[in-house]
Amino acid sequence: MSHKSGFVALIGRPNVGKSTLMNHVVGKKVAIMSDKPQTTRNRIRGIFTDERGQIVFLDTPGIHKPKSKLGEHLVQTARATLEEVDLILLLVDAEEGMGPGDRFIIEHLKQVETPVFLVVNKIDRVHPDALLPLIDSYRRLYSFKEVVPISALQGNNTGTLVDLIFRELPEGPAYYPADQVTDSPEHFIIGELIREKVLFLTREEIPHSVAVIVEEMVPREDGETVYIRATIYAERPSQKGILIGKRGAMLKEVGRLAREEIERLLGNKVFLDLWVKVKKDWRNEEAYLRRFGYGEVD
């Protein structure tokens, strides 16, 4: 039996379920999930391996019209990814239907030669009769190699999607060990888990002006506990106040939820030491974008 391997880009408007799909297929949370757009700020490699071969997923930031230097970096990252992979999955939202953002992305897809699957996500939220007209509207704009309706959240039809991906990939070696599910550093994943909890708890009060840096991560002398010090950066003093909360209640809850997931990730007890700082308009400062990991596309 031949061994297939290759790189697959997940692309689409913000909040269509790219991270949810990758996490489901890989079987472990390697990308944060949120109901807010632009959750994913870096290319995160999720790795799926079985007897057929290895699929390396690149979860790109959602392509959108940028309004800041950070936004420009996110779109540049997504576009660059399209040129480097063996296959592109364009995820669209069955519930929302086609929007200007989808047309914007499809125009970019016409400029690359990589094969593209249309993956219609969130089919559990629409009547089956609505799917065919929606799929036809996308087919009129682009000649997709395959069209696969799925529910990433419930796992519906994701097995079929993986089968079709393997059918498309070339023969090749495994790029990573069979038990590895991501190549993102632990520091990065931990920072993302903390940022996910901030987005979840603050809802509309804190937009995407938050970044998290893991400053220190060291094992304690007892051998069972890992000390992690992380800083949450906001753009305005009012946001800092919201993040800390009355008598520190919000920051404590962010820490509690994040610590639970980090402990599952590391398999150790965790002492999570969170701080909040303000850096005005950091999303438009190159030096801070690089420090926060959003520098030049690699």
Query: Domain limits of the chain?
Result: 4-168, 186-292
Is residue 242 annotated as involved in ligand binding? no
CB atoms within 10 A of CB 170: 11
Domain 4-168: homologous superfamily in CATH? P-loop containing nucleotide triphosphate hydrolases (3.40.50.300)
User: What gap in Å lies between CA 46 and CA 286, rounded to an integer?
Assistant: 28
Q: How far is CA 80 from the centre of its chain?
A: 16
CB atoms within 10 A of CB 111: 9
Strand 211-219 to 146-149 pairing: unpaired
User: What gap in Å lies between CA 298 and CA 296, rounded to an integer?
Assistant: 6
Do 4-168 and 186-292 have matching folds? Answer: no
**What would the mean pLDDT of 31-55 be, rounded to a whole number?**
69
Q: What per-residue confidence (pLDDT) applies to 172?
A: 93
Q: What per-residue confidence (pLDDT) applies to 171?
A: 95
**What would the mean pLDDT of 153-178 be, rounded to a whole number?**
93
Q: What per-residue confidence (pLDDT) applies to 188?
A: 77
Per residue in 240-252, pLDDT tens?
999 999 999 999 9
Is residue 123 annotated as involved in ligand binding? yes
Residue 43 above 80 pLDDT? no
Residue 254 above 90 pLDDT? yes
Is residue 156 annotated as involved in ligand binding? no
**What would the mean pLDDT of 204-213 be, rounded to a whole number?**
73
Per-residue pLDDT band for 58 (boundaries 50, 70, 90) equals confident
Is residue 273 annotated as involved in ligand binding? no
| Mean pLDDT, the chain, integer | 83
Q: Indicate the fold that domain 186-292 takes in CATH.
A: GMP Synthetase; Chain A, domain 3 (3.30.300)
More reliable by pLDDT, 117 or 236? 117
Q: Which amino acid is at 280?
A: K
Residue-wise over 200-225: b if at least 16 C-beta within 10 A, else e? bbbeeebebbbbbbbeebeeeeeeee
Is residue 121 annotated as involved in ligand binding? yes
Is residue 16 annotated as involved in ligand binding? yes
Residue 36 above 60 pLDDT? no
Q: In the numeric block, which tokens belong to residue 276?
A: 């909040």
In the chain, % of residues over pLDDT 90:
40
Q: What per-residue confidence (pLDDT) applies to 290?
A: 66
Is residue 29 annotated as involved in ligand binding? no
Alpha carbon distances (Å) from 268 to 26, 49, 181, 272? 22, 26, 19, 12
Q: What per-residue confidence (pLDDT) applies to 119?
A: 98
Is residue 122 annotated as involved in ligand binding? yes
Is residue 35 annotated as involved in ligand binding? no
pTM: 0.65
Is residue 69 annotated as involved in ligand binding? no
Is residue 61 annotated as involved in ligand binding? yes
Q: What per-residue confidence (pLDDT) applies to 12?
A: 85
Q: What per-residue confidence (pLDDT) applies to 129?
A: 92
Backbone angles phi, psi at 297, to 5 degrees: -65, 130
Per residue in 118-161, pLDDT tens?
999 999 999 999 999 999 999 999 999 999 999 999 999 999 99
Is residue 63 annotated as involved in ligand binding? yes
Residue 294 above 70 pLDDT? no
Is residue 135 annotated as involved in ligand binding? no
